Structure 1
């Protein structure tokens, strides 16, 4: 279970992919280790005692079993997240249960508090703490038993309670989630895969119980969207609908400092050179992303009320809701209307039918400017004004002022033009020049990556792109204008490639038109799975690539690929090959137009497009055959 309660180590570090079949045998007794999931949740009983004001007491009792050596890493260290300003850990006991059934308690030396690392040292965000439990003697076949109690004396939002649960993708033998509320406080639920038992009412309180069991999960396919988009999930909330949820966010977020003279003076000074509202909004957006440090805590993990705009301006840091608060105040100072927008940041393309905070529910805030018809995520430092990062595209969103659900744009312009030249010497080595121009949504992320890189890191990026293409040699990058914040971005890589053509015998030269990141890379990503059963991310774009390979007189061309044209519902692709025997130059052009109406494609769409993609892949990875004329 993923929540703000007890977290296994993988939930803090990374999500593991589990195998398809479950075996009851231990890892050391099995001949086929791959069929055994690394760990299993044997039991988990999690009780929430909720009061009318939204305060809550949690009690959790869980047992995890390590099935393999990898599973030992999963369960040997667990975390209980709490907000030290409003929550207390009242009880925590832990023990390792050996294969012989003997329990070994975790001593005080194995329990410690660790500052939530995402606070990045920001003083106003140091309320998030991880109580870390390190279990001794964990090995395959061993269980870890954790019991904790946590009491929240002050709700994140007054008078409300919500809780989001998603499977952590280890097999679950038994899980029970119990929500105990006053009888006059209704509970709303969106349950998929979690079975609701009949509520029980007595002594003025009602208990709602949900049970969950699941065998081994199918592996997550490459490029698939987040599991809860299509898999099991449970959202519990005392707020009946999104309109009410928006009101509960909106009222506490009212800030008496939005018209502070310092904010007004800053906004007007930054925009003094223009009367155009869009240009003003862009100037303020760029100032925000370059001058206010982003603290990457999800909305709802700490208090859901933004800090005051004057404090954010003074401290020069904030989380997503603080970015919205300060950027909105700056916009208001120059007469531009805006409102907060709540959504999920991540590979999740749906929201539960009932509102609440959660890692795969509402966890992020951006801003909507109705007069400009634009969304803006100023906390995304590498995204240009007028564009959105992929993690918030094509998502359902809650407009806070209007209290209605809307959706961010599904597509935005994206283009890439590449020019690649190889001059092959008689020794088979080649000098090359590679020039790339990115435009649209990918230009500023590329520019920002180099903007924030040291010179050494920039050269390392160039070397990585050469190596990822399968070539060996040198690479020196020349960056474009890094002071710009809009428009196309161009960079150039130059160097040499070893053994591009062998000076004797026959060589199959790669018919490249781009280093890593071009058409070939895109097609590989789309074809990462031979068959898809899960929805996957599909982002289109326009790619225009040209390569020129000049060969020495010591080799002759024996075979070049044929021109290819592929037309599909989502793809238009064409390639053209021309060899001039006088100048001994081969020119290759490739163009790809990929268009999707959304950012999440279905397995059926993949099946329909797969044949076309395979034809494009075959051409993008084609070869030119040359043979040495002597020796």
Structure 2
């Protein structure tokens, strides 16, 4: 594309000139903000309270007519209407932070789905999103993520170009890519295996990060929880019938999403002659999911780094013998790490699987090494606990 702007600072100055009068609060908004942060001295807590108020009291609705494709509505109007688009919500967060005495910026964003682009020429046209930014905490706040913790940056906002715009200047930079421990799922499965390969399963799950936001939204309707959970889990446990489920802290956006469930899977283990073959984990088929093509012409986008931990405790059928217990092991690369550990304690076999992805993007040059790593990881996950007959 072409542009008449000479620099990114020029872009920022133009946008700030358009938006600055829209950021002026009224007495009501000032009073609301001061009440929210009354008695709080910690900046993180002040930011969290303001963010939580904005996402709970305004809905994301985009009415981007005419100049309002670029110019936010007045923050007082956004509060009265109870809705706004991305730049409206970012503007409201900005205004409330300033009332609370916290330095802030508006961050114009080029989201991940639109791909990377050269930093020249400077242009407003490259951005498709707006969020808020707190320099003191180096923290980005996306007001459209309406069930998020303030400290969980949505994946579409991570590792992308942003222009930080404030009253004095504008700065072009990249948003951070959060480390894998910030996007984490922990699953504990207590499995009572039956002689025919069926199993009674009790699951306890904890989800940290952006995925927890999706769970809070998806499972908010209590009457739909069983149907939706059964549909989700059937991908890991074909034919599973969920007998009961319980979700915790769905309305507390700063806590991990947690849930427990009980159900019966008609065929957790596969029969091979007189033996049962028990999978170590719900993970598998990594090659088809992550690196199906033998070669690539473009970089592979993996999404934000993440961690998955599964502790599977398999209680054996009465009288069953263990014909073979895999040794497990670990495969590691710059891209990710997989470890699978086996332990037998009486009639219970415990398997701990941990997957840590370390990068959000694999270049064309790196792809052969990445694919080779995925093949090694798949081989480790294909190992089976082999049980003999009664």
* 1:350 and 2:111 matched: no
* 1:311 and 2:72 matched: no
Separation (CA, whole Å) in 2 of partners of 1:576 and 1:495:
25
**Among 372, 376, 379, the residue aligned to 1:615:** 376
* 1:457 and 2:224 matched: yes
Report what 2:299 is aligned to.
Answer: 535
**Is 1:309–1:329's contact at 8 Å kept on the other side of the alignment?**
yes
Separation (CA, whole Å) in 2 of partners of 1:572 and 1:296:
41
Separation (CA, whole Å) in 1 of partners of 2:34 and 2:252:
21
Separation (CA, whole Å) in 1 of partners of 2:206 and 2:65:
36
* 1:471 and 2:241 matched: no
Report what 1:601 is aligned to.
Answer: 362
Aligned Cα root-mean-square deviation (Å): 2.6
Output aligned runs, 1:448-597, within 5 Å: 448-450=217-219, 453-475=220-242, 476-501=244-269, 505-514=273-282, 519-520=283-284, 525-538=289-302, 539-553=304-318, 555-580=320-345, 583-596=346-359
CA deviations on 1:597-617 (whole Å, 9 max, x unpaired) are xx3321222222222221111
CA deviations on 1:484-531 (whole Å, 9 max, x unpaired) are 2213332112101113357894355341434xxxx5476753234333
CA deviations on 1:413-445 (whole Å, 9 max, x unpaired) are 222222112102345431101112223454444
**Structure number, greater radius of gyration:** 1
More strand by share: 1
Q: TM-score, normalised by structure 1?
A: 0.56
Change (3 A) 1:469 1:503: closer
**Is 1:505–1:628's contact at 8 Å kept on the other side of the alignment?**
no
CA deviations on 1:120-143 (whole Å, 9 max, x unpaired) are xxxxxxxxxxxxxxxxxxxxxxxx
**Is 1:524–1:617's contact at 8 Å kept on the other side of the alignment?**
no
Change (3 A) 1:275 1:448: farther
**Is 2:132–2:141's contact at 8 Å kept on the other side of the alignment?**
yes
**Among 152, 157, 166, the residue aligned to 1:387:** 152
Change (3 A) 1:257 1:618: closer
Change (3 A) 1:523 1:501: closer
Q: How many residues align?
A: 383
Separation (CA, whole Å) in 2 of partners of 1:478 and 1:588:
25
Specify the SS of the correspondent of 2:116.
Answer: coil
**Among 434, 453, 458, the residue aligned to 2:203:** 434
Specify the SS of the correspondent of 1:603.
Answer: coil
Separation (CA, whole Å) in 1 of partners of 2:64 and 2:194:
55
Change (3 A) 1:592 1:486: same
Deviation at 1:256, TM superposition (A): 6.1
Specify the SS of the correspondent of 1:268.
Answer: helix
Report what 2:93 is aligned to.
Answer: 327
Specify the SS of the correspondent of 2:145.
Answer: coil
* 1:250 and 2:16 matched: yes
Q: TM-score, normalised by structure 2?
A: 0.88
Specify the SS of the correspondent of 2:226.
Answer: helix
More helix by share: 2
CA deviations on 1:264-316 (whole Å, 9 max, x unpaired) are 01111122241222211110101111110101467999531111111111001
Specify the SS of the correspondent of 1:371.
Answer: helix
Separation (CA, whole Å) in 2 of partners of 1:522 and 1:270:
46
**Is 1:298–1:364's contact at 8 Å kept on the other side of the alignment?**
no
Separation (CA, whole Å) in 2 of partners of 1:612 and 1:357:
40
Specify the SS of the correspondent of 2:317.
Answer: coil
CA deviations on 1:149-205 (whole Å, 9 max, x unpaired) are xxxxxxxxxxxxxxxxxxxxxxxxxxxxxxxxxxxxxxxxxxxxxxxxxxxxxxxxx
Q: Which runs of 5+ in 2 are unaligned?
A: none
**Is 2:192–2:199's contact at 8 Å kept on the other side of the alignment?**
yes
Separation (CA, whole Å) in 2 of partners of 1:386 and 1:502:
43
Q: Which runs of 5+ in 1 are unaligned?
A: 1-234
Change (3 A) 1:523 1:279: farther
Report what 2:188 is aligned to.
Answer: 419
Output aligned runs, 1:188-203, within 5 Å: none
Change (3 A) 1:298 1:472: farther
Change (3 A) 1:300 1:470: farther
Separation (CA, whole Å) in 2 of partners of 1:298 and 1:512:
51
Which is worse superposed, 311-320 or 326-335?
A: 326-335
Change (3 A) 1:266 1:314: same
**Among 102, 113, 127, the residue aligned to 1:362:** 127
Specify the SS of the correspondent of 1:236.
Answer: coil
Report what 1:38 is aligned to.
Answer: none
Separation (CA, whole Å) in 2 of partners of 1:502 and 1:520:
15
Specify the SS of the correspondent of 1:609.
Answer: helix
CA deviations on 1:462-490 (whole Å, 9 max, x unpaired) are 21232111521212321122232213332
Separation (CA, whole Å) in 2 of partners of 1:576 and 1:433:
20
Specify the SS of the correspondent of 1:479.
Answer: strand
**Is 1:376–1:388's contact at 8 Å kept on the other side of the alignment?**
yes
Specify the SS of the correspondent of 1:253.
Answer: helix
